[in-house]
Amino acid sequence: MTHQLAVLVHTPVHSAVAGTLSYVSELPLTVGSLVRVPLGQRELLGVVWDAPLDSPAASFDPQKLRPISSALDGIAPLSASWRQLVTFAAHYYQRSVGEVALAALPPQLRDLSTQQWGRRLKRHAKAGAVGEPALVDASELVALSPEQTGAIAQFNTNSGPFLLFGATGSGKTEVYLQCVEQLLVREPDAQAMVMVPEINLTPQLEARFMARFAPMYGDGAVVSMHSGMTPAQRLKSWLAAHSGAARIVLGTRMAIFASLPKLKLIIVDEEHDPSYKSGEGARYSARDLAVYRGRLDGAKVMLGSATPSLESWHHSRPAAEGGRYLRLVMPSRIGSITALPTAQGDTTRLVNDAAAASAGLPVVRRVDMNHQPKHCVFSPPLLAAIMERIARGEQSMVFLNRRGYAPVLHCADCDWKSECPHCSAYRVFHKIDRTLRCHHCGYAERVPRACPACGNPDIAPMGRGTERLEEHLAELLLEVRRPNSVSDQWPEGEPVRIVRIDADSTKLKGELQAQLARVHSGEVDVLVGTQMIAKGHDFRRITLVAAINPDNALFSSDFRAPERLFSLLMQAAGRAGRDADISGQSEMWVQTFHPQHPLFEALKRHDYPAFAAEQLKEREQAGMPPFSFQALVRAEARTQEVAQGFLSAASAAATRMAQADQLLAHLTLYPAVPMSIQRVANVERAQMLIESPSRAALQRFLAAWQVVLHATRKQPEGRGLLRWAIDVDPLAI
C-alpha cells in the first residue's frame, strides 16, 4: 500500500513548481517529517506538509507519482506551530513557503548520507541528556534593584507582550537571566530563546548564560545559533533545540525559525536594531516574527532596549490609547539614586546634567565645532578630556561610523575622485594595505601613483574613516605617557595604547575577541571604532565616549535617520561609566556644527521619551510608519531604463487590476525611481514604494499583484530584467 504525501522543497515563489509537490511513500509519514525526494535530476531535502485544501493531488494516478527517496529517521516531525510560523512569514513577506521552510533548516541536513545520519544521531543522543537542576548556593544569588524586582513581578503577573525600557547599565541582562531561570524552575521541560542583533554580541551573552545555567543543567543546556558557526555546529545546535535537550537558545535573527517544541519564552535584546531585519531572500523582521511566534506557541515575549524602535514604543502606549504591549520601565542604572525620564503615555519628567550624573549616566557635552579651529578633528577641549582620562588610568572610546582611512581619494587639479567603475559610489581609501576598495561590490585595486585622469602626483584623501582617526589620534598623543597602573602588568611610562575595532581590523577569526579582551584587561587606553563597539558591550573601565562628526544623519532624506542616529548615540553613551565606582565621572562628548538641534537637546537629557514623542508626532503628520504601512518593490537590470520600465509597467497593470477589484481605495503607488546607490556591481537598481494606512489592504494588494509582476516580466517591458523582490515593512528607502 502506498501513501500520497504533499512535500515542500526549496523553490522560489515565481517558479512553476512553487507550493507543495505530490509524492508517494510505502510508509505513512507524519506531517512535518523530513524526507529526501527526487526533483528532476536532483535529490532534495523536503518537509512533509499539510496538503492544501484545493489540492488536485487526489485526482492523480498514484502510479504516475514518484516515490520519496528516504525519510530522515530519528528526527521528530516539525511541530504544527512551527509550520504555521513559516506559512505566515512566507505569505506576509511575499515568498514561497518552501523557500522559507527549507532556508530555516541547517544546511548540513541536505548533505549527510543515511549512514552519516546514524552516527550523528548516536553522538547527539549521548550528549543530549539533561540533568536535574542543581542547588545553587544562596551566597551566589544576585541582589536585584527595586526596578529589576518590579519589572520581573509585572512580567510574571501579566501575559504581555512586554517592552523592557531600561537605561544602559540598568541591568536588563540580569532581568533576562532571572526570567529564564524562573521559567526553567517552574516548568521542567520548557525552552527559552534569547536573541541578539549581531554575531559579535553572542559570545559575551553566551558566557553569562553558561555561567548561570551550565552548573544547574549541564553544558549542553545552552546553545547558540548564528551564521558565523560552521555547518556542523549549526546542525548540532539545531538538533539539541529540536529534541528539547537545549533549554536555552541564543542567536541572531536566524534563530527565530529554530525548532523549539517546548518554547515558553522569547527575549529580543536591543530590539530596535535594524540587524533584526533580513536584507535578502525572505526579508523578514525577526522582532516582529518573535511577537507572532509567541502568540502561536503560547510563549511570553519580552522586547528590551534603552532606545526602543518607534514602532515598539508606539505599541507600548497605554492600553486605553490602543497600546498592545506592556511597558516595563527601568530608568536608573544599577547603584544610581536618581531616575531618568520615565514617560508612560504623555507624562515625561526631565533631568538636568547634575541629575544625570548622579543617576550614573554620562554627562553629555556638546562641542560647537563652529567655534573650534578650522579643520580640526579633535577639538582642544575633547583632546584635553581624553588626556585627563589617560592620566587617571581610565579608558576612552572614540566613535566614528565610517571605516577605512578616507571615504574618497581626490585630485585637486582636475577634481578626479576614486569612483568605483562598477558602482555609483566611491571606493574607500585603506592606507594599511594601500588599496582603494568598494564597500558595495568588493572591487579593490592598488592606490595609483598619480591621478589617472590628469597625471597629477598630488592626490590626497578627503574625509576621515576610523583608520585615519586612529593615526591622527596617535600623533596627537605621541608625547603622552601612561600613568602608574593599578596592575603591575602594564608599567607606567609607556606610550598610550590605541586600538581600532571595525570590520577591517577584525576580519581574522578570533581577532574581535582578542581585541575586546585587551580592552577589558585595561591594556588599551583609547578605543577607536565604528558601531561595532557602540552597543551591547560591557566595558567597565571606559569613562569617556566621543562621537566625531555625527551630523550627516540630521538632514538625511531617510525619515528613519534621526531615529537611528539618536539610538546609536544613546547606545554609545551607554558604554561610559558602567562601573558604579566611577560612573559619576563619565562623559559623552558630541562634536557637532548644530549643537542646538532638538536631537542633541534630547540626548543631553538622556530623554528618549521626549525624542520619541516628537518623532512620532512628525510621522503622524506625514503619514509615515507606524501610522501607515509600506512595501518596496525593487528591480535589478543591466540598464536603469529596463528596471524602471518594468516597475512602471507593473504599476500600470496593477492600477487596472486594482480598480476593477477596488483594491486601490486605501493605497498609494509612487512612481519608480532609482535607488540611492543605483548601480552596484554593474547592475542598475530601481524601486517603487507602495503605502497604505491599512496593513490588511496592503497585504491583499501585494498578494494579488504577484501574478501581475510575474506576467509583466514575460512582456517586452520585462526583457533584460535580472530579478525583482518585494520588501514588506522596509527599513531603508
Name the H helices within 574-633: 598-604, 608-622
SS (H, E, C) 96-165: CHHHHHHHCCCHHHHCCCHHHHHHHHHHHHHHCCCCCCCCCCHHHCCCCCHHHHHHHHHHHHCCCCEEEE
CA angle 452, 453, 458 (to 5 degrees): 70
3-class secondary structure, 212: helix
DSSP 215-259: HHH-GGGEEEE-TTS-HHHHHHHHHHHHHT--SEEEESGGGGG--
CA angle 468, 470, 471 (to 5 degrees): 65
3-class secondary structure, 72: coil
3-class secondary structure, 635: strand
Residue 376 known to bind ligand: no
DSSP 646-704: HHHHHHHHHHHHHHHHTGGGG-EEPPPEEEEEEEETTEEEEEEEEEES-HHHHHHHHHH
Residue 121: partners with Cβ closer than 8 Å, 6 or more residues away: 74, 75, 239
Residue 420 known to bind ligand: yes
Q: What share of the chain is helix, strand, coil (3-state, %, to 5)?
A: 40, 20, 40
Q: Name all contacts of 118-123 with Cβ < 8 Å and 24+ positions apart.
A: 118/74, 120/235, 120/239, 121/74, 121/75, 121/239
Q: Read off the C-alpha cell for 631.
A: 512595501
Residue 438 known to bind ligand: yes
Instruction: Write out the binding residues.
Output: 411, 414, 420, 423, 438, 441, 451, 454
Instruction: Write out the binding residues for Zn(2+).
Output: 411, 414, 420, 423, 438, 441, 451, 454
